[in-house]
Structure 1
Amino acid sequence: MYPVDLPALDETDLTSASELYLSALESPAHHNNDVFQSSQTSKVVITASNVRRLQLFEDDRADCTLLALHLPDDPTQVVALYLHEQWWDVKDILRTNSKSRSGLLMVQSLMERVIVFLLSQVLERSSEEEALFSPHPRNECCKLLWREGQAVGFYTIKHKGSLCDSWSSQSYLLPVLDTVLVRKSWRRRGFGLQMLQDFCSLFNTETFLGVSAPLSPRMAAVCRRFLQQHEEHQERLYEVEAPGCWSQRRNIWLKLQLGKYSLYVNEKRISASVERNEEDSSQKVQADNSRLKSASLHIDIEDIPPPISSSMEQIKACDSSQGGRSPSSKISETGCDLPAHTDDLNSGPPTRPAKSRNTKQTPTSKLCHSAESGLEKSEAEKTQRSVKRVRRF
């Protein structure tokens, strides 16, 4: 039999038994060197120096204390608790022989609250770490997760309408999932998802549900996976601060999509994410380059005066370099319009507003004029050479 399977204790019995034992241990007449032997540690001598009181609940009412035995050189490492007038290994306190304890069950007895206290305050931390959570109130709504004859996790709830604290009159405006814990040796088995789903199912008539802020990286990862699997809760689940008015709510799914959370993932997932990001970046660069290549080349040139008949061939030469279009298609109010060839385009060229006739002459216009003057000069030189040949004869 384990402590949770023994007859129920009340707070008075637990506290009085602890005080009597501690008084006897501190008495000068006490000479017995009691020793506690656990399966995980060597023998620990029980003295007044390595036994201390632990407050079970967080409130202003009369204290409910129990005794904890810790290692002589490390007060944070608790090895046993004094329950039912004897010392129990902390791992045994988490066990049960009752087959009815399976799955998520509401906490009802004082011994079950001791188990929640052990999980949140004593276990799952090293000597350098602080307690995972502050002590819970004695009336806190909790559910323990039982698997294979032992308690492996729990979650607590702040009910709608319950007081936020003991010193103000503020009450929660919606049900809030306050704390969630799964023992390290039982993680990565989907128990966090199971508890989150159980919480949502417990309040299936509520329009909105809350998760206490701030979300840890592990909890954010659990919420992301849960909301990916249950889209009906994406508009329902909010990260909230007490008491949970609208200015204190933030939609969890929206924050996940915006990348506002630091998610807990293993190294394999991190590297895969980096590879995906690099691949996405490469594809984006290629797409940008493709768009640049397909963009039309649109050059606006100053008005050209009407060409004289002797320079019509030069105008035709310019037209032939632009894809073989007729001269009339190139003469407009804006002068010569030179779009890219059709084999370089994915779509029609963008339109540009007409430029004023008073704009400064562009290099392309100068090129056309220089070509015209060059041809006139060539014809003059040919005539001059012909005259010289006539003179020789």
Structure 2
Amino acid sequence: MFPVDLPPVDETDLRLASEQYLLLLESQPKGDDWFQSTKTSKLEITARNIKWLEVFEDNQTRCSILALHPSDDPTQVLALYLHGSWWCVSDVMRTSCKSRTGLLPVQSFMERLIMFLLSQVVEKTSEEEGLFSLHPRTESAKLLWRDGQAVGFYTVKHKGTLCDSWSIRCYLLPVLDTVLVRKSWRRKGLGLKMLVDFCSSFPSEEVLGISVPLSASMVAVCRHFLQLNEDQRDRLYEVEAPGDWTQRRNIWLNIQLSRY
């Protein structure tokens, strides 16, 4: 079993267990704890190659997890301390549950942690620094599971939810906010699958939004989707928060006018 398959973990309990582990590690002799980073190499675990990672962006209690990194590169994340042991990042992203497949709502802390890894850690390059911001812990989202691993996710700003934590503005329509597919799984129609799922989730809404700005890959997904679904062409808009009519631009029209 993998972390996402184990009994739910409370954020406070996770933090306390991590703090206790760190205190124990600092008190024990050097060379007592090692992590098998690959089949042929292992890394000594010391307080010098452990850091705290902040998981969420909101005004609630901070949620940090312990991460293990190479001694010479603190920007890398090799493993996370969960359920009393170290798990390599690739295993945190996996599941042994056969029913966990396709797009499923994000509900548990561990599923939100996987979202964090996808957007902040996995396959991230220096050029993508800051491409995705941290998500609030209550963000509405779905994870995409394929072949026993998480390969992407999308998030939604629901109509009526606050646009941010420092104002009283609320979204005036459902908005597809973030769409992410792992690089090794791109060009397989998964972005299209998520857009279809988003649009079908709000059958009674006359207008739906996608957050600005649209990336080139998202424009390509929208073009394909709207070519296949003519009835959605007057329904899908690129929007700025909160999404009133002056902040909406019809995506199909902008594609036809070559504005992207």
- Distance apart, 1:200 and its partner CA: 0.0
Instruction: Indicate yes or no: 2:109 matched with 1:110.
Output: yes
Residue 80 of structure 2 corresponds to 81
Q: Which runs of 5+ in 2 are unaligned?
A: none
Instruction: Indicate yes or no: 2:233 matched with 1:234.
Output: yes
* Residues 40, 131 of structure 1: alpha-carbon distance in 2 compared, 3 angstrom cutoff: farther
Deviations 1:271-317 (A, max 9, x none): xxxxxxxxxxxxxxxxxxxxxxxxxxxxxxxxxxxxxxxxxxxxxxx
Structure with higher strand content: 2
Residues in 1 aligned to 2:259 and 2:46: alpha-carbon distance in whole angstroms: 51
Residues in 2 aligned to 1:44 and 1:219: alpha-carbon distance in whole angstroms: 40
Residue 180 of structure 1 corresponds to 179
Instruction: Indicate yes or no: 2:54 matched with 1:55.
Output: yes
8 A Cα contact 2:30 2:46, kept in partner: no
Residues in 2 aligned to 1:213 and 1:11: alpha-carbon distance in whole angstroms: 32
Corresponding residue SS for 2:179: strand
TM alignment of 1:269-308, pairs within 5 A: none
* Residues 173, 71 of structure 1: alpha-carbon distance in 2 compared, 3 angstrom cutoff: same
Residues in 2 aligned to 1:124 and 1:180: alpha-carbon distance in whole angstroms: 15
Q: Which amino acid aligns with 1:14?
A: L
Residue 5 of structure 2 corresponds to 5
Instruction: Output the TM-score relative to the length of structure 1.
Output: 0.64
Q: Which amino acid aligns with 2:84?
A: E
- Distance apart, 1:109 and its partner CA: 0.9
Residue 144 of structure 2 corresponds to 145
Q: Which runs of 5+ in 1 are unaligned?
A: 262-393
Instruction: Output the TM-score relative to the length of structure 2.
Output: 0.96
Deviations 1:183-213 (A, max 9, x none): 1111111000000000000011100000010
8 A Cα contact 1:14 1:64, kept in partner: no
- Distance apart, 1:37 and its partner CA: 1.0
Residues in 2 aligned to 1:207 and 1:41: alpha-carbon distance in whole angstroms: 57
Higher RCO structure (Cα 8 Å, ≥6 apart): 2
Residues in 2 aligned to 1:170 and 1:75: alpha-carbon distance in whole angstroms: 39
Runs of 4+ in structure 1 deviating by more than 3 angstroms, as ranges, are 39-42
- Distance apart, 1:128 and its partner CA: 5.1
Deviations 1:190-242 (A, max 9, x none): 00000000000001110000001000111111111111111111110001111
- Distance apart, 1:131 and its partner CA: 4.3
Residues in 1 aligned to 2:158 and 2:241: alpha-carbon distance in whole angstroms: 12
* Residues 125, 237 of structure 1: alpha-carbon distance in 2 compared, 3 angstrom cutoff: same
TM alignment of 1:321-340, pairs within 5 A: none
* Residues 98, 20 of structure 1: alpha-carbon distance in 2 compared, 3 angstrom cutoff: same
8 A Cα contact 1:96 1:149, kept in partner: yes
Residues in 2 aligned to 1:158 and 1:129: alpha-carbon distance in whole angstroms: 23
Deviations 1:60-86 (A, max 9, x none): 111111011112222221110110011
8 A Cα contact 1:77 1:127, kept in partner: no
Q: Which amino acid aligns with 1:12?
A: T
Instruction: Indicate yes or no: 2:168 matched with 1:169.
Output: yes
Corresponding residue SS for 1:259: coil
* Residues 161, 41 of structure 1: alpha-carbon distance in 2 compared, 3 angstrom cutoff: farther
Residues in 1 aligned to 2:28 and 2:54: alpha-carbon distance in whole angstroms: 25
Q: State the aligned residue count.
A: 259
Corresponding residue SS for 2:156: strand
Residue 134 of structure 1 corresponds to 133
Residues in 2 aligned to 1:119 and 1:132: alpha-carbon distance in whole angstroms: 12
8 A Cα contact 1:44 1:71, kept in partner: yes
Residue 18 of structure 2 corresponds to 18
Deviations 1:324-354 (A, max 9, x none): xxxxxxxxxxxxxxxxxxxxxxxxxxxxxxx
Q: How big is the alpha-carbon RMSD for the aligned residues of Structure 1 and Structure 2?
A: 1.4
Q: % of aligned pairs identical?
A: 66
8 A Cα contact 1:74 1:127, kept in partner: no
Which structure is larger by alpha-carbon Rg, 1 or 2? 1
8 A Cα contact 1:125 1:131, kept in partner: no
Residue 210 of structure 2 corresponds to 211
Residue 362 of structure 1 corresponds to none
Instruction: Indicate yes or no: 2:201 matched with 1:202.
Output: yes
* Residues 22, 132 of structure 1: alpha-carbon distance in 2 compared, 3 angstrom cutoff: farther
Residues in 2 aligned to 1:235 and 1:40: alpha-carbon distance in whole angstroms: 54
8 A Cα contact 1:120 1:131, kept in partner: no
Q: Which amino acid aligns with 1:20?
A: Q
Residues in 1 aligned to 2:76 and 2:40: alpha-carbon distance in whole angstroms: 11
- Distance apart, 1:127 and its partner CA: 4.3
Q: Which amino acid aligns with 1:161?
A: G
